[in-house]
A and B are shown apart, each in its own frame.
Chain A
Amino acid sequence: MTADAGQGSGRGEPDPQEHADEPVGHLQRGQFVAETSRPVPRAALSTRAIAGLWALRVFVVLVSLMVIYTFIDQLR
């Protein structure tokens, strides 16, 4: 999926004209639709990170509601 960094590009590879008639000769494996459709593993977040993310989410929702309330009030 990743870290195929730099592979298939630059002067270290064969002349691209060699494969001009091959439809997928210039893609890295991670670029194929079949590969990008494969889900990446879930990251393990610490409890503190999850709590921080939820706190930020709740805060953002509250402030958004305030902005929307103010917006509606301005319409009156």
Chain B
Amino acid sequence: MTRIPPSPPARGPAPDPPLTGEDAARSRDRARVHHARWHGRRWQLLWLLAGPGILVMMGENDGPSMIAYASDGAQYGLGFFVPLIPVLFALAYVCQEMCMRVGAVTHRGYGGLVLQRYGRAWGWFGAGDLILTNLVTLVAEFVSIRVGLAYFHLGAGVAVALGLALVVFTLSGGRYWRWERIVLGLALFNGLFLLAAILVRPHPGAVVSSLDFLPFPGGSVDTLLLLLASTVGATVTPWMIFFQQSASADKGMTAGDVRHGRYDTAAGAVLAAVFGIGALIAGAALLTHGGSGIEGFAGAGFPEALKHVAGSAAGAVFALGLIEAGAVAILTICASTAYAAGECAGVSRSFNSSPRNAAVFYAANLGVALLAAVVILIPGAPLLSIALNANVLATVLLPVSLVFMVMLANDTALMGQWVNKRSTNVIGITVIVFVGVSGAAYGIVSFLQVVHLINS
């Protein structure tokens, strides 16, 4: 394999390449990073370099995921899931750290690199997987906002208007930094799920005693496989891979920022695990009530059920949490679609570009949100089934994206000294096998039951 020659720094002997507005905007952001680093301002540096890692993890704590965690709690209680969620986010950290590292070292997004390095077929396959899962997931996010708003007696039209208004508002600044900070501010409200957990007043002993992975959830094989596949799909998905690598590059991160990128990703994973457990604990309050209200996408199902068991404050907080989770996920998932579209089309793909210079990027960002919004306005559309199957489909399609991620992170020509360590590869391959087996097992078993080749 040919070693790709390193590029000299911008102020080196070679003449500077032609400048764009995107370069100038990114340079201004980098100037602040360099200034903080030069003056040894650690906290400012952390603040400046935080972003893609927290956003990707908070974006993955989306509406369907939080409903999935709460449903797990309502159906099975705390045991098994309280320790499982941190384990899954630890696995997610390993995958996302690779994305951040590849983006920071190569300054390129995932879709573009796969397309150029391994061929157009693989690039377009990946983009196709992404668009399919993103569309399905975005529908589920709008449904999540609708469920939250239904608690406050607001309808689907308001959910669509709110989601689309947020996308347009965040796109309007023409700066990555502005987009990132707005979404980070919104993402903080994912902590509402922790507040909901506190409001249901769980017994501390029950939480502590659930840390031994017991009792293992009972039920039929396909139910357990669906549970596993959807819980895995609630932790790592294809859009996360596209998003974090592209956002790290768009933010202007460099190999010198990898350490801070790791802090950012780890902080996101810890917060997401804590808030996910919050949703689980809130849902577990319904366990003693026969799991009532777990049909969480019917009307204001879950928040209403919680209100009857734990009071109106818990219900309202959970409903607000669902609105936040859906909103943040819409913004990050639309961004991942836009990055992939721009990279595969080989055109400008940056929040630092103007809509005129990055028409494909902005059109894909808004277009995919519009398409999903239209679906939830269709009378009689199977929204409940779409929402429940979104995570499963993401799990099934994930292994291919992960394989290319590991290949990129091991590509010496691209990564130089920043290639994966052996231990990272072992964990990465374990994640691929785990995800592949759990997704495929559900797909095959449920299909065989549907065609009556095995009994349910």
Contact = CB atoms under 8 A, between A and B. Distances in A.
B232 to A, nearest CB: 14
Interface in A34-69: 34-37, 39-45, 53, 56-57, 59-60, 63-64, 66-69
B414 A64 contact: no
A60 B396 contact: yes
Contacts of B16: 24, 32
Contact of A66 (B7, B27, B385, B447): B447
Nearest to A19: B31
B249 A9 contact: no
A14 to B, nearest CB: 9
A20 B32 CA distance: 9
Interface stretch (B75-83, B101-109, B146-154): B101-109
A11 B37 contact: yes
Contacts of A15: 38
Chain A contact-residue range equals: 35 or more
Contact of B389 (A24, A43, A67): A67
Contacts of B400: 53, 56-57, 60
B252 interface: yes
B28 A23 contact: yes
B27 A23 contact: yes
B116 A74 contact: no
B444 A31 contact: no
B33 A9 contact: yes
A21 B214 CA distance: 61
Interface stretch (B117-125, B166-174, B269-277, B363-371): B117-125
Interface in B225-264: 249, 252, 254-257
A69 B22 contact: no
B11 interface: yes
A54 B359 CA distance: 33
A68 to B, nearest CB: 8
Given A1-B4, A2-B414, A16-B34, A31 B252 contact: yes
B19 A23 contact: yes
A11 to B, nearest CB: 7
B256 A41 contact: no
Contact of B450 (A31, A60, A70): A70
Q: Which of B1, B20, B27, B413 has the most CB of A within 10 A?
A: B27
A70 B415 CA distance: 41
Contacts of A39: 116
Interface of A: 1-11, 13, 15-17, 19-20, 22-37, 39-45, 53, 56-57, 59-60, 63-64, 66-71, 73-75
Interface of B: 1-2, 4, 6-12, 14, 16-20, 22-24, 26-28, 30-31, 33-35, 37-38, 105-108, 113, 116-119, 122, 125, 249, 252, 254-257, 346, 348, 350, 382, 385, 389, 392-393, 396-397, 399-400, 403, 411, 413-418, 439-440, 442-444, 446-447, 450
The 10 closest A-B pairs by CB, nearest first: A5-B255, A34-B17, A9-B256, A66-B447, A16-B34, A3-B416, A26-B30, A3-B6, A23-B24, A29-B7
Given A13-B34, A43-B117, 7 more contacts: A1-B107, A1-B414, A3-B416, A5-B416, A25-B11, A40-B4, A64-B396
27 contacts: A1-B6, A1-B7, A2-B7, A3-B105, A4-B254, A5-B254, A7-B254, A8-B9, A10-B37, A16-B35, A27-B30, A29-B10, A29-B17, A31-B26, A32-B23, A33-B348, A34-B18, A35-B17, A40-B116, A41-B117, A43-B413, A64-B393, A66-B446, A67-B442, A70-B446, A71-B385, A73-B450
